[in-house]
A and B are shown apart, each in its own frame.
Chain A
Amino acid sequence: MIDNHLPILQVLIPLVAAVMCLLLRNRLIVTTLAIVVTWVTFAVSAALMSAVLRQGVISYELGGWAPPWGIEYRVDVLNAFVLVLVSGIGAVVATWSPSSISIELPRYERHYLFYCAYLLCLAGLLGITVTGDMFNVFVFLEISALSSYVLISLGQDRRALTAAYSYLVMGTLGATFILIGIGLLYIMTGTLNMADLAERLPEVLDTRTVIVAFGFLVVGVSLKMALFPLHLWLPNAYAYAPSAVTAFLAATATKVSVYLLLRFFFTVFGYEFAFDRMQLWIFLMPLALVGIVTASLVAIFQNNIKRMLAYSSVAQIGYMVLGISFASVNGLTGGIVHLFNHGLMKCALFLALGCIVYRCGAVHIDEMRGLGRTMPWTMAAFVGGGLSLIGVPMTVGFVSKWYLVVAALEQGLWPVAAVVLFSSLLAVVYIWRVVEVAYFEAPSAVEGEGTVREAPLSMLIPVWALVVAIFYFGITTELTAGIARQAAESLLKVAS
């Protein structure tokens, strides 16, 4: 019986738990509840994934009201995949977080509020992914956005506040643009259900209203996913937020926005309209390429390692969008699998940085001196994630790059292939900067307390679980690339 209600449970469980966190003030109970709930949510996602792989698209009517008037939750291979990623990251970070926030959020009696916001954000992101109704997307988008503004503002540095504020302004603009797009589509077709829209839009595709709606949706989604040059909110937001928040958001928030890009332009509008008629790739591909190169270049010069990884994220989003802009099976496979792979990589990297913050207090490159010796496991995890960013074979990063280059070569765009590969070399520069400082220089003297020790096991285990996943999914890609390919084929409506 539970099986039938999995889609709604996916959102309901974290949502209710968030409210319970608000009511139960005890720190220990709230922490345990959060960890348990996030893992249960992950189990639900896994169950949904296996159900979709077995029986195809799952459709769920909220409250028994049939679509297109009722709200429908619709799970196919693509969003099941994203659900697994988001809930998995949510669970891992929640498990990792208690020690970290005890240092970074000094007022223990307020921790229940942190977990409340965290679970709300998780529920929001999961809701965006699982729903099949356009307005529902907007609602959950705002739920996740508002809670993420709050989470970001909890950082210790006062710049976290201004970062959260500017993210708020830009994020609200983006979400409102999306709302305008949804509204215009509704005006033209009278429906909010995605599948229904896909059927009704072809008749009205030539009207100016629909084209304007398309434009608003493109800009709104680009803003939320930090496509160059609408990425300006990201570096500060990721750099100054608490470590657990950065790790969670970096691995999920922008990925869900990329999912929205796919959903809007392949399922709702259909790729013929989006790419052949509106030539969306002319907009996406150059911006993606410029984003990849400039963000990687800027990352090289950052001294705050969190900021460096934030710019690296902008570059990696560029890879995803590049893959999507090819609008071919290999291109979409590359983009979708990179969505998953990057989530793993960035979460591992930011969690490793969080361990360093836990022990050293900051992540300026000067703090990293000699950490290879004093925090060997943490640095080894950082190197593992870094190798994946570079795209060393046997890591997940390699798999994504492979598909992207194949897709580029298929369309004869060998300069694009060259850019993808040379930007990996830029990643070598900024990762190796950290490696050299950590392994080649002597540990810097810490005033007072004595030498820096390795991070506690409760923090190391989640990090290493992710690193193992990075290598595992780099060696057998059946689960990740195989599923991504299925999703790509269904998006392009290729008969498989």
Chain B
Amino acid sequence: MMETIGLYNYWVVVVLMMTGFYIVVARDNLIKKVIGLNIFQTSVFLLFISAGKVDGGSAPILAEGIEIYSNPLPGVLILTAIVVGVATTAVALGLIVRINEAYGTIEEPEIHLEDVEA
């Protein structure tokens, strides 16, 4: 029981991941989908980072008298992943702006209707 609660970071990850995934799938507004994608990606970031924390370890900066450090590598990886996420969001938003110009709407059903009618 205590172990399950001790793994609370992973539970947060799971909740966020499913929330994000649900938003991507269930919401028709293009921007909301992007938001869902962001939440999904954030959950992955948390997965990596929280896994890097070592029990009793301090921040991974060399200092006198400190024996145990947390793992710095996940942090590095996630920095990269955050940048990737930002770039993805930027491209997605750019696309949405252009879609809005072309279709006049950013709701998926309406876009679909426009294409079917065309």
Taking Cβ atoms with an 8 Å cutoff, the residues of A that contact B are: 135, 138-139, 142, 146, 149-150, 153, 158-159, 161-162, 164-165, 168-169, 172-173, 176, 179-180, 183, 186-187, 192
Contact = CB atoms under 8 A, between A and B. Distances in A.
Given A161-B95, A161-B102, A176-B44, 4 more contacts: A168-B92, A179-B81, A183-B48, A183-B74
B37 interface: yes
B84 A165 contact: no
Nearest to B13: A180
Given A139-B84, A176-B41, A183-B51, A168 B102 contact: no
Contacts of A150: 91
B99 interface: yes
Q: Is the interface of A mostly helix, strand, loop or mixed?
A: helix
Interface in B42-97: 44, 47-48, 51, 73-74, 77, 80-81, 84, 87-88, 91-92, 95-96
A165 B99 contact: yes
B16 interface: no
B111 A162 contact: yes
A161 B111 CA distance: 11
A146 B92 CA distance: 9
Contact of A162 (B37, B51, B80, B115): B115
A173 B92 CA distance: 13
A146 B91 contact: yes
Contacts of A172: 37, 41, 88
B72 to A, nearest CB: 11
Nearest to A141: B84
A399 to B, nearest CB: 38
Contacts of A135: 77, 80
Contacts of B47: 180, 183
A161 B104 CA distance: 13
B103 A158 contact: yes
Contact of A183 (B33, B44, B98): B44
Contact of A149 (B44, B73, B91, B103): B91
B95 A173 contact: no
A169 B27 CA distance: 13
Contacts of A183: 44, 47-48, 51, 74, 77
A183 B77 CA distance: 10
Given A142-B88, A159-B115, A169-B37, A164 B51 contact: no
Contacts of B99: 158, 161-162, 165
8 contacts: A142-B88, A158-B102, A159-B115, A161-B95, A161-B99, A172-B41, A183-B74, A186-B51
